[in-house]
Structure 1
């Protein structure tokens, strides 16, 4: 398990962090998992405030292709729209598990916290049904992994990053190596990238 301090340090390079009380969650109080509440209270992805009337926009990670967006707690409930329901939380989609909570998204593809297992899943939208795969065993591993990949991607030079075809073999090797160091397991790192279909 990765520490609060480690994840806070990783995220701090990507935007402002600010402790956020669970009262900022706009859904039903019992629908906010304690691990998510603790994540926002202790780490608190906040991001920039571009317009005062809009408030904080959260943290955006550049990972190649579409960025990964992690909202502040005040926007987390509204992020569920389009996944758990269309326009009314009281009329949820049958295809969406009541145990799932979207915690981040990449071009509409959700990273999902499973309230039952504590795992973080990843799924592609637009397939007609949801078929999420396990991305990480817990929330901190998921967030830390995403930031680790973003950090590597930011350091890649033009020889390792082909903007037309994605990462070169050398770039892919760097991502895998850094993610393996973060997770402590090359096998786990490879499984995470596979579930995310990061190289494809």
Structure 2
């Protein structure tokens, strides 16, 4: 298990981190999982303030394709719109379990925290139904893993970037090696990349 400080260091490449109390959550207090509340208090994705009228935009991790976006806590409830409900939290969709919470998204594809198990899933939108794939066994592994992939992707030499296929075999190997080092488990690292369809 990674320490809070280790995860803070990983996530800091995506933007400013700032401790945020659970009171920043805009929904009912009982709807915010305790682990998510601790995550925002101890690590606190905040991000850059581009416009004062908009406020912080959260963390952004560029890992090829659309960036992965992690909102500040006061925007986390709004992130659920389109997944858990359309426009009214009191009118949830039937096919979205109440124990699912979107904690990040990539071009509309959600990373889902399951408050019953603590696991994080990844799903593709637009299929007509949700078929989430297990992405990581816990919150820290999920977000730290995303940051790790973004960091190594940013540092790949140009000859290992193939714009048609995403990455060359050498680039893929570097990404897998970096994620394996982070997770201490090459099989888990490969499973995360497969669930994310990172190489596709």
Using the size of structure 2 for normalisation, the TM-score is: 0.99
In structure 2, distance between residues paired with 1:157 and 1:165: 15
Q: Secondary structure at the match of 1:85?
A: coil
In structure 2, distance between residues paired with 1:153 and 1:180: 14
Q: Secondary structure at the match of 1:60?
A: strand
- Quote the offset at 1:165 in angstroms: 2.1
Match of 2:38 in 1: 38
For structure 1, the 5+ residue unaligned runs are none
Within the alignment, does 1:54 sit opposite 2:54 as a pair? yes
In structure 1, distance between residues paired with 2:82 and 2:18: 27
In structure 1, distance between residues paired with 2:166 and 2:2: 29
1:129-148 pair list within 5 angstroms: 129-148=129-148
Using the size of structure 1 for normalisation, the TM-score is: 0.99
> Which deviations, in whole Å up to 9, do the C-alpha atoms of 1:2-43 show, x marking residues without a partner?
110000011112211100011110011011011100110001
In structure 1, distance between residues paired with 2:64 and 2:154: 9
In structure 1, distance between residues paired with 2:10 and 2:74: 22
In structure 1, distance between residues paired with 2:70 and 2:5: 18
Within the alignment, does 1:120 sit opposite 2:120 as a pair? yes
Match of 1:9 in 2: 9
In structure 2, distance between residues paired with 1:176 and 1:165: 16
In structure 2, distance between residues paired with 1:110 and 1:14: 18
In structure 2, distance between residues paired with 1:77 and 1:14: 20
Q: Secondary structure at the match of 1:159?
A: helix
Confirm or deny: 8 A CA contact 2:60 2:69 kept in the other structure: yes
In structure 2, distance between residues paired with 1:14 and 1:94: 34
In structure 2, distance between residues paired with 1:163 and 1:73: 35
- Quote the offset at 1:164 in angstroms: 2.6
Confirm or deny: 8 A CA contact 2:13 2:147 kept in the other structure: no
Q: Secondary structure at the match of 1:102?
A: strand
Within the alignment, does 1:29 sit opposite 2:23 as a pair? no
Match of 1:182 in 2: 182
> Which deviations, in whole Å up to 9, do the C-alpha atoms of 1:47-84 show, x marking residues without a partner?
00111111100010000011100000010000000000
Over 4 Å off, 4+ runs: none
- Give RMSD over aligned pairs: 0.7
Count of aligned pairs:
200
Match of 1:152 in 2: 152
In structure 2, distance between residues paired with 1:148 and 1:97: 29
Within the alignment, does 1:192 sit opposite 2:182 as a pair? no
Q: Secondary structure at the match of 1:13?
A: helix
